[in-house]
Amino acid sequence: MTGTLTIENLHIAARHGDHDHVLVDGISLTIRRGRILALVGSSGCGKSMTCSGAQGVLPPGVRVTGGQVLYDGRPIAPEKLRGHVVAAILQNPRSAFNPVLTMANHAKETLRAVGKLDSGWRSRTLEAFATVGLEDGETVLGLHPFEMSGGMLQRTMIALALLSDAPFLFADEPTTDLDLIVQARILDLLEELARRRNLGVLMITHDMGVVARLADEVAVMENGRIIERATTRDIFDNPQRIATRELVEAHMSLYPEVA
Partner 1 sequence: MRRTVSTLALLLIGLMLIGAVWQPHDPDAIDLSLRFAPPSLDHWLGTDQLGRDVLARLMIGGWRTVAVLGCVAAIGMVGGTVFGVAAAMLEGWRGALILRAGEMFIVVPTLVVALTAAAVFGLNPVTAGVAMGLAGIGPYTLFAHALARRLLAEPFVQAARAMGVGGSGLVVRHVVPNMAPVLFAHIGANAGLAVTAYAALAFLGLGADPSRPDWGAMLFEYRMFLFDHPLLMVWPGLAIAMVSATLNAVFDAH
CB 55, min distance to partner 1, A: 5
Residue 149 engages partner 1 in binding (rule: CB under 8 A)? no
| Most distant CA pair in the chain, distance | 56
**Between 173 and 222, whose beta carbon lies closer to partner 1?**
173
Strand 168-172 and strand 19-32: the pairing is unpaired
What are the angstrom distances between the C-alpha of 192 and each of 36, 132, 184, 188, 189? Answer: 11, 10, 12, 6, 5
Partners of residue 68 on adjacent β-strands: 8
Which of 203, 213, 209, 167 is closest to 89 using CA atoms?
203
Q: Which one of the spans 107-115, 188-196, 212-220, 228-236 is the region binding partner 1 (CB under 8 A)?
A: 107-115
- Return the range that interacts with partner 1 (CB under 8 A); candidates 18-26, 93-101, 193-201, 214-222: 93-101
Give yes or no for a contact between 229 and 218, defined as CB atoms under 8 angstroms apart.
Answer: yes
User: Which residues in the 189-248 window bind partner 1 by CB under 8 A?
Assistant: none
Total residues at interface with partner 1 (CB under 8 A): 33
**Is 170 one of the binding residues for partner 1 (CB under 8 A)?**
yes
Candidates 66-74, 120-128, 156-164, 215-223; binding stretch for partner 1 (CB under 8 A): 156-164
Q: Interface with partner 1 by CB under 8 A: which range of 88-96, 132-140, 204-212, 233-241?
A: 88-96
Beta strands in 112-238 (DSSP E): 168-172, 200-205, 217-222, 225-231
Q: Give kind and range of the element (H or E) at residue 112.
A: helix 103-113
Q: How far is the CB of 10 from partner 1 (least distance, A)?
A: 16
Q: Which residues bind partner 1 (CB under 8 A)?
A: 52, 55, 57, 59-60, 79, 82-84, 86-88, 90-92, 95-101, 105, 109-110, 112-114, 157, 160-161, 164, 170
